[in-house]
Amino acid sequence: MFGYVRYDLPNLFVKDVMLYKSLYCGLCKGIGASCGQAARMGLSYDVTFLSALLHNIAGQDIVIERSHCFEHCIRKRPIAAADDMTRALGALNTILVYYKLTDDVLDSGKGRSRRAWFRRGYRRAKKSYPELDAIVGGYIKKQAETERANTASPDAAADPSALMMQEIGDWFLKDKASEFTKGLFYGLGKWVYLIDALDDYEKDGKKKRYNPFVLSYGGGTRQELMQKYGEEISFLFDSLFYSLRVNLAGIPFRFDRDLTDNIILRGLPAETARVMKGEKRKKTKDKV
Amino acid sequence: MNQENYTILGVEETATDDEIKAAYESLKAKYNEEKWQDGEAGNQAARMLGKLDAAYQEIMEERAEQAKSTSGPGAFEEVSNAIKSGDYARAQSILDNFNERSAEWHYLQSVVFYKKNWINESKKQLEIAIQMDGENTKYRDAYEKLKAQSDYKKETGGAPNVHADPASGDAQMGGNWCSSCASMCYTYLCINCLCNLCCSCR
């Protein structure tokens, strides 16, 4: 679920590297502010991306200041100030992490202690943002029902996760939400679900766990899958990228859109291509 | 009248078409045998035979009529209206109630899927619709349009299409505004050096 939303480094502007870094640090501080120190361990790039996208669409200015933090205690770093939206995103991050870990516990019975680490932060998030918890909790339940029903169609299987993302977007954007933002967030949620499923294709096939691709195309190796059904799977993702592009074009952006465009239009297709080939993620020294 | 028809056949109103047909056939065989009997019994059987045929015809016609009103052209219109008003859940529930799934049914189902952003499922339904009715240009056009969503790969050689906003142009170009100034300076420097070579004028 986490870790698939990536930038495409060769096409990333230097100014956006700075922006992304400071948003990342800002989100970390936002988690600290809304959920307490322990929950900062759950910080993810996925929610950082959401932060960039939501700030931009909502027209909320990002104020960057130089300050210290726990990890960077000697040199000052540019950090985006933790505004209301960032704090809410921090809570969202903790809620998502907590539900994901709960899912892991239910799946394999492991990871109870990891979940316990986030329990306090989750309670705080739930108390201050009950609507967010209701959205995520409700759709996680629906997702589990869909999976228990052995839904074979990838479109249908990804629907609850996609709708969850759509509602999260609506909640943050309020009156700025439009048909286009709904479509964009739906597509993003769907992509995250599908890429996770495709990445786990071989593993789930072996362990006989639920996976829409295994149910639709039968288990086996990734190579066989792509050889036989590559065209169909490519179409699934290409049409998804098409809808992301159409929806992006319909959204007025207040500031500069380069960072989010880089991630949505280049990063996601690049990551999809990587997962389709079954390659490991390349570790770059010059990481952001 | 309706109730009477069912009593003649000796079945409940809720009976299925197959049950009615079975009852009709067994009764017909019975009366056909009885009508050769002497006297009133034979006449009675012959009369019942006529009634039986009429009742069976009427029930079947009535049922065909009913089926049409729940899954005929009228229902298709209802689905289209639900789609137009954006009520996809209602459109889906009407579609689920159809007994017979014609090409048009698969087409409408594909539209509902498309509106829900289930593009892959939408394409599958269109493929079935085209298989059932290859003549219909409406299905073919919709199918071609869907297929075109992944066509950019042919144009860009597999690279992702990164133009979200068609009007924005290429944002990475630019920065050329002073290139001619720089080249003028450079040319001037070179000429100056060459001049200095021969006559050492300062």
Q: Give yes or no: residues B56 and B106 share one domain.
A: no
pLDDT digit string, tens, across residues A12-49: 999 999 999 999 999 999 999 999 999 999 998 999 99
Shortest distance, CA A155 to any CA of chain B (angstroms): 5
Q: Which helix (H) or strand (E) holds B50?
A: helix B39-71
In the structure encoding, which two tokens stand for residue A262, read together? 């880089």
* ipTM tops 0.85: no
Q: How confident is the model at residue B161 (pLDDT cuts 50, 70, 90)?
A: low
Tell whether B170 is covered by a domain. Answer: no
**Residue B35 domain-assigned?**
yes
- B118 CA: distance to closest CA in chain A (Å): 5
* B170 pLDDT higher than 50: no
User: Considering its fold, how many domains does chain B have in total?
Assistant: 2
User: Is residue B183 domain-resident?
Assistant: no
Q: Which long-range contacts (CB under 8 A, 24 or more apart) does A209-212 make?
A: A209/A107, A210/A147, A210/A148, A210/A150, A212/A151, A212/A152, A212/A153, A212/A154, A212/A156, A212/A157, A212/A158
Q: What pLDDT is attached to residue B171?
A: 42
Residue B57: count other Cβ atoms within 10 Å of its Cβ.
12
- Identify the top-confidence range among A170-179, B3-12, B21-30, B88-97: A170-179
Which of B116, B117, B150 is closest, CB to CB, to A234? B150
B195 belongs to a structural domain: no
Task: Identify the pLDDT of residue B61.
Answer: 80
Provide the pLDDT for residue A186. 96
Q: Which two tokens stand for residue B49?
A: 């035979």
CATH superfamily of this structure's domain A9-277: Farnesyl Diphosphate Synthase (1.10.600.10)
Mean pLDDT of B101-111: 88
Four-residue CA torsion sign, A79, A84, A88, A94:
positive
* Mean pLDDT for all residues in chain A: 90
Element (H, E) at B158: none
SS3 sequence of A93-115: HHHHHHHHHHHHHHHHCCCHHHH
Query: For the domain that residue B13 is a member of, what is the CATH number?
Result: 1.10.287
A80 forms beta bridges with A64
Token digits of residue A175: 């009156």
Helices (H), A149-267: 154-157, 159-173, 179-199, 201-207, 212-217, 222-249, 258-261
Going from the C-alpha of B105 to that of each of A159, B83, B123, B131, the distances in angstroms are 22, 13, 14, 13
Write the pLDDT tens digit of every residue in B17-69. Answer: 788 888 888 888 888 888 888 888 888 888 888 888 888 888 888 777 666 55
CA dihedral A13, A17, A19, A25 (to 10 degrees): 170
CB A148 within 8 A of CB A132: no
What is the rounded CA–CA span in Å between residue A249 and residue A237?
A: 18
The winner for highest mean pLDDT among A1-10, A155-164, B162-171 is A155-164
A96 phi and psi angles, rounded to 5 deg: -65, -45
The answer to whether the CB of A245 falls within 8 A of the CB of B164 is yes
- B200: alpha, beta or left? (left if phi > 0; alpha if psi -120 to 50): left
* Lowest mean pLDDT across A156-160, A166-170, A187-191, B34-38: B34-38
Residue range B135-145: average pLDDT?
Answer: 88
Model pTM above 0.80: no
Q: What does DSSP assign to residue A202? A: H
In this predicted structure, what is the pLDDT of residue B23?
87
Mean pLDDT value across residues A246-260: 87
- Based on the fold, state whether residues B7 and B64 are members of the same structural domain: yes
* Domain presence at residue B22: yes
Query: What is the CB neighbour count within 10 angstroms for residue A11?
Result: 17
Distance in angstroms (rounded) separating the CA atoms of residues A216 and A201: 11
Higher pLDDT, B57 or A284: B57
**Is B125 domain-assigned?**
yes
Cα torsion A226, A232, A234, A240: sign: negative
Element (H, E) at A77: strand A77-80
**pLDDT tens figures, A53-96:** 999 999 999 999 998 887 777 888 889 998 999 999 999 999 99
pLDDT > 70 fraction of chain A, expressed in percent and rounded: 98
Please tell me the distance from the alpha carbon of residue A80 to that of residue A21, in angstroms, as a whole number: 9
Test B150 with A235 for CB contact under 8 angstroms.
Answer: yes
**A272 to chain B: which residues are within 8 Å by CB?**
none
**CB B150 to CB A238 under 8 A?**
yes
Q: Residue A164 corresponds to which amino acid?
A: M
Checking if the pLDDT of A145 tops 60, the result is yes
From residue B61, alpha-carbon distances to B4, B68, B75 in Å are 15, 11, 19
CB B56 within 8 A of CB B9: yes
pLDDT score at B158: 58
Domain ranges, residue B50: 2-71
Residue B4 banded pLDDT, cuts 50, 70, 90: confident
Domain membership of residue B181 (yes or no) is no
Residue B174 has pLDDT above 60, yes or no: no
Does the pLDDT value for residue B168 go beyond 70?
Answer: no
Give yes or no for residue B164 having a pLDDT over 60: no
Residue A282: the pLDDT is: 73
| A156–B118 C-beta distance less than 8 A | yes
Question: Which of B109, B114, B117 to mutate to probe the A interface, most A CBs <10 Å?
Answer: B117
- Write the residue in A183, A240, A266 that is nearest to B162 by C-beta: A266
Query: What pLDDT sits at residue A52?
Result: 94
User: Contact A64/A22 with Cβ under 8 angstroms?
Assistant: yes
Q: Is B164–A261 a contact, with Cβ atoms under 8 angstroms apart? A: yes
pLDDT at A157 over 90: yes
Is the pLDDT at A278 greater than 50, yes or no? yes
Work out the pLDDT band at A142, boundaries 50, 70, 90. very high
**Residue B160: which of A154, A234, A266 has the nearest Cβ?**
A266
For CA atoms A11, A14, A19, A25, the dihedral sign is positive
- Check if A187 contacts B (Cβ < 8 Å): yes
Q: Read off φ and ψ for residue A66, nearest 5 degrees.
A: -90, 125
* Structure letter (DSSP) for residue A266: I
pLDDT greater at residue A240 or residue A1:
A240
- In terms of domains, do B49 and B103 share one? no
Asked if residue B163 is part of any domain, the answer here is: no
